[in-house]
Amino acid sequence: MYENGYNVEPKWKEECGVYGVFSRTEDVSGLTYLGLYALQHRGQESAGIAITDGAWMDVTRGMGLVNEVFRHQVPHMENQCIAIGHVRYSTTGSSLLCNTQPLMVNYSGGKIALAHNGNLTNAAEIRHELEEQGTIFQTSIDSEVFVNLIARSRAETVEEKIIESLKKIRGAYCLAIMTEDKLIGARDPQGFRPLCLGKTEEGSYILSSESCGRNGGY
């Protein structure tokens, strides 16, 4: 690559950051905000946080930096126990509010929210197959393929649904997935997209695209 007549090394872009917290004692949304702030270098287009109290689930998303999206208030819920977050650098899909993450949907098994970093090489193929079967997509990002595959799976548990769905996917990815009572992390078999697992001094579990995010909240 040449800049101003000089041969320079290409600059790698991190392509999104994901974060997740499970805790019965700590402020999961606050920890997620701090974690996303630490991961801000991985995406500056948009940010979002999804939270649950074990029954109800809500998501707040917006365009801009983490401190801009949550300038007035970090989302909060009484008795919240799980949160996942996302900062975006778009690799597929336009930089629009509808393409911000985490994605949150209702399906027959309950509610699910998902934050994704990576690229799927067969996303267009799977999307076409799902559309032919009547699936409606609300975004233009390949992350929505994950959500629809999970929702359509006939496996019994959510863990089995996720495993079944991931077997259909090709590419590099890591995921933070939240149900009403579970935080689940996943990454591609080769580990091309990093996903760190951490634990706070109070025993809360952390998922993060980088170890700097794992330490962002404590």
Q: What are the boundaries of each domain within the chain?
A: 14-214
* Top CATH class, 14-214: alpha beta
Whole-angstrom distance, CA of residue 202 vs CA of residue 145: 35
16 annotated active-site: yes
The answer to whether the beta carbons of residues 208 and 39 sit under 8 Å apart is yes
Q: Give pTM, 2 decimals.
A: 0.87
- Please pick, among 16, 98, 174, 196, the residue that the annotation labels catalytic: 16
Sequence-distant (6+) residues with CB within 8 A of 195 are 18, 174, 175, 176, 185, 186, 187, 207, 208, 209
Q: What is the pLDDT along the chain (218 residues), one digit of tens a residue?
A: 333 444 444 444 457 999 999 999 999 999 999 999 999 999 999 999 999 999 999 999 999 999 999 999 999 999 999 999 999 886 554 567 888 999 999 998 899 999 999 989 999 999 999 999 999 898 888 889 999 999 999 999 999 999 999 999 999 999 999 999 999 999 998 888 889 999 998 999 999 999 875 555 44
Tell the residue number behind the tokens 């909240």, with chain if given: 217
* Confidence (pLDDT) at 3: 38
Q: Output Rg (C-alpha) for the chain, integer angstroms.
A: 17
* Confidence (pLDDT) at 11: 42
The answer to whether the beta carbons of residues 188 and 175 sit under 8 Å apart is no
* Confidence (pLDDT) at 191: 86
Whole-angstrom distance, CA of residue 96 vs CA of residue 63: 8
- For residue 207, the cross-strand partners are 20, 197
